[in-house]
Structure 1
């Protein structure tokens, strides 16, 4: 009888002693154990299918493994339920940037995340970096409109202002100077730079 009473008292605590999937998964991500993180977040989603944090982190684990198509589908699911989910927007931008196939799509996601990121957050300099760098890649491939060039300059300058000691700050500054001295006037539809210029 004593054993049964003890077990009855223990059951509520057993039920509430859930696994901390988020901490475990994020630890795996920080250790670059992305496959393990993917499996853990899939398990977490089975236990809590509506948890968008688990779903978003699964998207990151997939991106980190170069599973860009799977990551995009996963993150799109989150954004269909919560269009202003900062994490999903950020990771979607990263996913498209790393994939290298669609810098315009990367910019779209980063621009949606931009107003949701506090200017005191470490991600604020990073969002400026990724937008500027995406536009820069497009300048050398597809070309940019006058307004896109202006946005590239704006985010490049913000990045340099926020990260003056970064290893690439001088390179960014030289690029800003080059663009300001050579950009085409507003009446030119697309400005494309051939690398080496």
Structure 2
């Protein structure tokens, strides 16, 4: 009987230890469960768990990040922006993640200028963060800033050469390079046209100047003829004097 009591005591101790660990790890479990639900595309079920965790860890900025991502998935962009800005203000070391997701919030609302600024802020905090590079490239396309988009797409392929989107991005790079060559050709044609027009204008100015010089020269000749006429009149005067004698 004593042996049975000793075994029961061990079991009781094990149960108590398990309960202590479970109670201490409650908040962590809520976050973990919420993350699993989020990864399984169940953001609506993850949100209550993250708020439950926030009640225990108000100063944990990662909870704001997870809530922001949940709200993005749910299409609640105002709530997402609020959570991401709140988390970013508390988490300077991980600011690139909040900026990146803020960029996603703005992009999904067609606020492309703000999206570009957010992705750039993310890359300023962490230069080689592939998702921000790719999404900023897509944003540049929307803004019709094709040279910048081309640069980012190439940079992304260098950062993540094994990406599953490699073929699609390479096609985009080829299109943009073709567009760049065509734009350069158009620019050169425009420059050639401008130079030709400039040359024609200069030639026209030279022809006009030459004509003006010729006109002025002819006018000078007319002035000389007038002087000779005065001389003729003076000669007539002398003739009249001669006749009187």
TM-score (norm 2): 0.59
Residues 172 and 22 (structure 1 numbering): CA distance in 2 closer, same or farther, change over 3 Å?
A: farther
Q: Which runs of 5+ in 2 are unaligned?
A: 1-7, 188-245
Q: Which moved more, 1:175-184 or 1:109-118?
A: 175-184
Q: Does 1:36 align with 2:41?
A: no
**Counterpart of 2:231?**
none
Point out the structure with max Rg over C-alpha.
2
Residues 129 and 25 (structure 1 numbering): CA distance in 2 closer, same or farther, change over 3 Å?
A: same
Written as runs of structure 1 = structure 2, the 5 A alignment for 1:46-85 is 46-83=55-92, 85=95
TM superposition shift of 1:159: 2.8
Distance (Å, rounded) in 2 between the aligned partners of 1:92 and 1:58: 12
Residues 166 and 24 (structure 1 numbering): CA distance in 2 closer, same or farther, change over 3 Å?
A: farther
Distance (Å, rounded) in 1 between the aligned partners of 2:150 and 2:181: 8
Residues 16 and 174 (structure 1 numbering): CA distance in 2 closer, same or farther, change over 3 Å?
A: same
* More helix as a share of residues: 2
**Counterpart of 1:128?**
133
TM superposition shift of 1:112: 1.4
TM superposition shift of 1:83: 4.8
TM superposition shift of 1:81: 2.7
**Counterpart of 1:175?**
176
Residues 66 and 179 (structure 1 numbering): CA distance in 2 closer, same or farther, change over 3 Å?
A: farther
Are the counterparts in 1 of residues 38 and 70 from structure 2 also a CA contact under 8 Å?
yes
Written as runs of structure 1 = structure 2, the 5 A alignment for 1:151-190 is 151-161=148-158, 162=161, 163=163, 165-182=166-183
Distance (Å, rounded) in 2 between the aligned partners of 1:105 and 1:178: 26
TM-score (norm 1): 0.71
Are the counterparts in 2 of residues 28 and 37 from structure 1 also a CA contact under 8 Å?
yes
Please, what is the CA RMSD of the aligned residues? 3.0
Residues 157 and 16 (structure 1 numbering): CA distance in 2 closer, same or farther, change over 3 Å?
A: same
Written as runs of structure 1 = structure 2, the 5 A alignment for 1:83-98 is 83=92, 85-98=95-108
